[in-house]
A and B are shown apart, each in its own frame.
Chain A
Amino acid sequence: MSIQSRAKSKNISHGNREKRSMMFWGWMLIAPTLIGLLILNIIPVIQTLIMSFQNVSTFGESTWVFFDNYKRLFEDPKFWLSLKNTLLYGIIQVPITVALSTLAAVLLNQKIKGVEVYRVIYFLPMIAAPAAVAMVWRWMYSSDYGLINSFLKFLGFSGNIEWLYNPQVVIWSLIIVGIWSNVGYNMILLLSGLQEIPKSYYEAADLDGAGTVQQFFKITLPLLTPQLFFVLVTSIISAFQVFDLIFVMFEATNPALSKVQSLVYQFYNETFILDDKGYGAAIVIILVVLIMIVTVIQLIGQKKWVNYD
């Protein structure tokens, strides 16, 4: 072997060793996340999927029942009611929340005195524990001594709305709390988007003759679409997963519960109260599929309305 080619082959083996060591450290550094993801997310998802095709008994023995759980599900009126409640909650809560968040973000993007204080106030619901939030709202919704009915009475209404027990009203009570809890967080996300819009666009629009309202619809809104899209996707996902508010606001014996019970609530009930893990698993798999379909539709639909520079 000539000196030259020996040097060359040495170089190659040296290069391989370096490459291998880089690979090793690369894997080592992402290992914690990867292992966490595997144990906490991926394995449970697969287990749940398997479980949804099984009948799992109290003591853990499981028998394959294939699509029986799903068949049962589609014949279960309680499931259809939960699905309807979940969809209704998502369809009404999300648009109102996004609209109010946008409005709040635009208002809190103005030069007003004490704007930081307002931003904190709007964000507070986000840092409060959902259970605590639900407890406070439960108290406010109380038909006899609740703040809301007292206030309605003060305004001259009859003020005897059964916020937590009237089957016609309960879903709206839940939606109101849902909106209140989520506006602050979404507002912060949208506010960051608003602050990225250069001032010169508004100055150019000023000279072009656009008023405040036209500027909002022609400049602000189109340039805020990447953030709006993100907020919309995450809001729908979290709305479809609503559980804690229902769990705390409506006790299990509440006769109106069936009118607010969501898919996740029913899953909880079937799995941990009635101990039918296979059936519960089938419910969440349906929910996952539902969320996936809606998200994919949104991902495709975004091409029509989201502006990326």
Chain B
Amino acid sequence: MAEIKLENIHKRYDNAEDDAVTDFNLEVEDNEFIVFVGPSGCGKSTTLRMIAGLEEITEGDLYIDDDVVNDVAPKDRDIAMVFQNYALYPHMTVFDNMAFGLKLRKMPKNEIKERVDHAAEMLGLTDLLDRKPAALSGGQRQRVALGRAVVRSPKVFLMDEPLSNLDAKLRVHMRTEIAKLHEKLETTMIYVTHDQTEAMTLADRIVIMEAGVIQQVGSPFEVYNSPNNAFVASFIGSPAMNLNEVTYRDGRITGNGIDLVVSAPSKKALDNQGYEGKTIIFGIRPEDIHTEQIALDASPETVVESTITVAELTGAESILYLDVDGTEIIAVVDARDYHETGSKLEVAFNMNKAHFFDKETEHVIR
């Protein structure tokens, strides 16, 4: 149970020219599940390690509840962390791994046993308590790493890419386990991942980072539907949003094979902000491109001719790679409509769901 505040946090490594993390500001509410997401090297793990106290803060203040903890030792921050490689002590049994922190805190033996047993039961580890980590599968190790954090009942849970060493199926399973764990424990959790699906499914709020800078903070719904900039737009969502440079004139966007009428609210925003005659970035999510007859009939002014270069069937959906006059556009459509590679296809763009970004700053135009 804790609130965490990061105020103008900077991190610069010795001998480095640039900040690894620049002016990071965030308030994490009690019991919130925050996910830091971004490509490798974006500073998300560094930020997490600064919160843990494993990395020094170059500049700025870190608060846990109302105290500045910049100079507080990791062990005194009442934080538990799950490492990417689990960092289970190889010479200790599962029980000892989980009990280690409690023993060091001089907790009575019966209470240690009670807590470890409880956590083991919660995580399905009861039969494995006498084993050493080498005799466990990847998923079991992962659960022990979680258990080691759980038994401490810390104020804050930190997780550094905890699922990246698991195979795809187990990853999905453990993802839901972690979500359940958060429900049960009612603890503040900060989770680092480069996988936007994990971020979307787990987070109360997502912090999207690139090159050490926060790009956007918001609920999964917000960052998906109203991305602040082209980076967020392209990073969140799979397949990624289609982004193409177009020229805006008289309520139409043209270029890169596209010639479409923009929606009334978009036209208002673009006109008001003086984008007439300028090049902008036009973004549309794959699922906002339709092939159903009803959509084609409803808005003939947004219909475009295309050729299917590749059609991937994923099950319920088909991912279509479309060639629109030389530009590749990706559409996700209902798999019940059969689409053959090489065939011509008319598609309708749902322009109410279109996003526009400034070409220079890549900021959203709203």
Contacts and interface: CB of A to CB of B under 8 A. Distances in A.
B54 interface: yes
B80 A207 contact: yes
Interface stretch (B82-90, B202-210, B300-308, B347-355): B82-90
A155 to B, nearest CB: 40
Nearest to B85: A200
Contact of A203 (B54, B80, B104, B105): B54
Given A223-B90, A307-B91, A206 B74 contact: yes
Interface in B18-57: 52-54
A77 interface: no
Size bracket, chain B contacts: 20 to 34
Contacts of A307: 90-91
Interface string B326-347: 0000000000000000000000
Chain B CB within 10 Å, residue with most, of A200, A201, A208, A225: A208
B189 to A, nearest CB: 15
A202 to B, nearest CB: 9
A214 interface: yes
A218 B87 contact: no
Nearest to B101: A208
B173 interface: no
B75 A198 contact: no
A34 B212 CA distance: 60
Given A209-B101, A210-B104, A222 B91 contact: yes
A309 interface: yes
A201 B90 CA distance: 9
Contacts of B148: 204, 208
A307 B54 CA distance: 27
Contacts of B89: 201, 204-205, 218-219
Contact of A198 (B54, B79, B87, B105): B87
A204 B88 CA distance: 8
Question: Chain A contact residues: over half helix, strand or loop, or mixed?
Answer: helix
A125 B83 CA distance: 42
B75 A204 contact: no
Nearest to A200: B87
Contacts of A208: 75, 100-101, 104, 148, 152
A5 to B, nearest CB: 47
B144 to A, nearest CB: 12
Contacts of B81: 203-204, 207
Contacts of B101: 207-209
Interface string B149-162: 00010000000000
A209 B104 contact: yes
A203 B100 contact: no
Contacts of B79: 207
B161 to A, nearest CB: 12
Chain B CB within 10 Å, residue with most, of A209, A210, A223: A209
A283 B75 CA distance: 58
A306 to B, nearest CB: 10
Contacts of A309: 90, 134
Interface string B237-273: 0000000000000000000000000000000000000
Nearest to A219: B89
Contacts of A210: 75, 100, 104
Contact of A204 (B53, B87, B105): B87
Chain B CB within 10 Å, residue with most, of A198, A207, A307: A207
B54 A209 contact: no
Chain A CB within 10 Å, residue with most, of B75, B91, B148: B91
A237 to B, nearest CB: 26
Given A203-B54, A214-B104, A309-B134, A209 B85 contact: no
Interface in A267-309: 307, 309
Given A200-B87, A307-B91, A206 B100 contact: no
Interface string A201-235: 10111111110001000110011010000000000
A290 B101 CA distance: 44
A209 B75 contact: yes
Interface in A88-109: none
A209 to B, nearest CB: 4
27 contacts: A198-B85, A200-B85, A200-B87, A201-B87, A201-B89, A203-B83, A204-B81, A204-B148, A205-B89, A206-B73, A206-B74, A207-B74, A207-B75, A207-B79, A207-B80, A207-B81, A208-B101, A208-B148, A209-B104, A209-B105, A214-B104, A218-B89, A222-B91, A223-B90, A225-B91, A307-B91, A309-B90
Given A203-B81, A204-B89, 20 more contacts: A198-B85, A200-B87, A201-B87, A203-B52, A203-B54, A204-B81, A204-B87, A206-B53, A206-B73, A206-B75, A208-B100, A208-B104, A208-B148, A209-B105, A210-B75, A218-B89, A222-B91, A223-B90, A307-B91, A309-B134
